[in-house]
Amino acid sequence: MASNNDKRSKTEKVIMVTGASGLVGRAIQAVVAEETSRPEEKFIFLSSKDADLVSEEETRLLFEKHRPTHVIHLAARVGGLFANMKYNLDFFTDNLKINTNILNNAFKFDVEKVVSCLSTCIFPDKTTFPVDETMIHNGPPHPSNFGYAYAKRMLDVMNRCYKDQHNCKFTSVVPTNVYGPWDNFNLEEGHVIPGLVHKVFTAKRDGTPFYIWGTGSPLRQFIFSRDLAKLFLWAIREYEEVDPIIFSVGEEDEITIKEAADLIVEAFDFKGPVILDTSKSDGQRKKTAENTKLRKYLPDFKFTPIKEGIKETVDWFVENYDIARK
């Protein structure tokens, strides 16, 4: 395979972002558009329309076409608790194929750095809290999403193997639950915040009750997509370790599902009945993660307060109802 970029200047970076049409990818696009321009960086934002990354051949053609020097790898089969419970096999096989194809081609095409995306839901379920980066493989993940979790864990294994055998700089970051504009607001497929936003919207419009699924007592740390986008850009530019790094708000910012729902009710100024549907699953009780490593690198990083992030997400959904995934 010809080396990457014989014609390219040594300082030029071609940063290819897979999954750029999704929640996190859209936020990266927005942050890049707002940043002071960096002429040495060229971004290529991709969606599944550019290539189905499950296909080895389509993935190879993508690398051949764009010849990236750097890859932010977001593309994945993604879903909330209920989608994971229904499609554990698909979440495992699709993600394993996508990740294998991306890293294999990154190696073949001499990519300098790949930053892939794990998730705090892949940590062992039965563990001490808070979890940190050293604990990913210490025991089985929660059964609701074991397919997705094991596929994501293998990304970390592959990163270490590529380093060991070929000295590649392929690494990963571990965000907590993400939310923001451009999320998937579909109730069957999506995560809790977009689901709750969609349900309050409908309840307010139709004068019906708002149903929160489960007991409302599980705990989550939520990160706003724009904050995560800034951290991804830092990682592709500055983070040099192969070991993963957790991208999380502090442990003190962990809230219950009910508290998240209350913030959404407040953002909509919804006055109707709020009902907990305890016939639905609660999923994992908690997955509290620490951000000590992140704080060592970026002690002054400011996270968006969740009240502000939720208001922005609600306003985005109301304004973009016609185009939102729902």
Give the H or E element holding residue 277. Answer: strand 274-277
Q: Which of 87, 148, 179, 239 is catalytic?
A: 148
Q: Which residue blocks in the chain are alpha helix, DSSP H? A: 23-34, 56-66, 81-86, 88-108, 146-166, 192-206, 225-238, 257-268, 292-297, 306-319
Q: How far apart are CA 255 and CA 253, in angstroms?
A: 6
Contact 245, 235 (CB under 8 A): yes
- Smallest CA-to-CA distance from 148 within 127, 168, 119 is with 119
Q: How far is the CB of 206 from ligand NAP (least distance, A)?
A: 26
Cβ–Cβ < 8 Å for 43, 15: yes
User: Are the CB atoms for 74 and 95 separated by under 8 Å?
Assistant: no
The pattern of x and - marking residues 98 through 117 that bind ligand NAP according to CB under 6 A reads x------------------x
- Assess 289 for contact with ligand NAP (CB under 6 A): no
76 binds, among ligand GFB, ligand NAP, none (CB under 5 to 8 A by kind): ligand NAP
The least CB distance from residue 188 to ligand GFB, in Å, is 9
Looking at the DSSP assignment, which residues form a beta bridge with residue 109? none
Using rule CB under 6 A, residue 310 touches ligand NAP: no
148 is catalytic: yes
Q: Shortest approach of ligand NAP to residue 54 CB, angstroms? A: 5
From the CB of 38, what's the least distance to ligand NAP, in Å?
23
Considering the complex, what minimum distance in angstroms separates the CB of residue 128 from ligand GFB?
A: 19
What does 214 bind: ligand NAP, ligand GFB, none (CB cut-off 5 to 8 Å by kind)? Answer: ligand GFB
Distance from CA of residue 286 to its chain's centroid?
18
Q: Do residues 73 and 53 touch, judged by C-beta distance below 8 A?
A: no
Residue among 261, 78, 38 nearest 182 (CA):
78
* Residue 82 partner contact from ligand GFB, ligand NAP, none using kind-dependent CB cut-offs of 5 to 8 Å: ligand GFB
- Residue 192 site contact among ligand GFB, ligand NAP, none (CB < 5 to 8 Å, cut-off depends on kind): ligand GFB
Greatest Cα pair distance in the chain = 64
Handedness of CA 156, 158, 161, 167 (dihedral sign): negative
Nearer to ligand NAP, 204 or 290 (CB): 290
Shortest Å distance, C-beta 34 to ligand GFB: 26
Interface residue with ligand NAP, options 5, 30, 42, 52 (CB under 6 A): 52
The answer to whether the CB of 242 falls within 8 A of the CB of 170 is yes
Chain positions contacting ligand GFB, by CB under 6 A:
80-82, 84, 119, 121, 144-145, 148, 177, 187, 190-192, 195-196, 199, 212-214, 218, 220, 257, 280-284
23: contact with ligand NAP by CB under 6 A: yes
Identified binder of ligand NAP from the candidate list 172, 184, 221, 284, rule CB under 6 A: 184
**Does residue number 290 form part of the binding site for ligand NAP (CB under 6 A)?**
no
Report the distance separating Cα 245 and Cα 291, nearest Å. Answer: 8
| Binding positions for ligand NAP, rule: CB under 6 A | 19-25, 47-49, 52-54, 74-78, 98, 117, 119, 175, 177-178, 184, 191
Point out the residues that are catalytic.
148
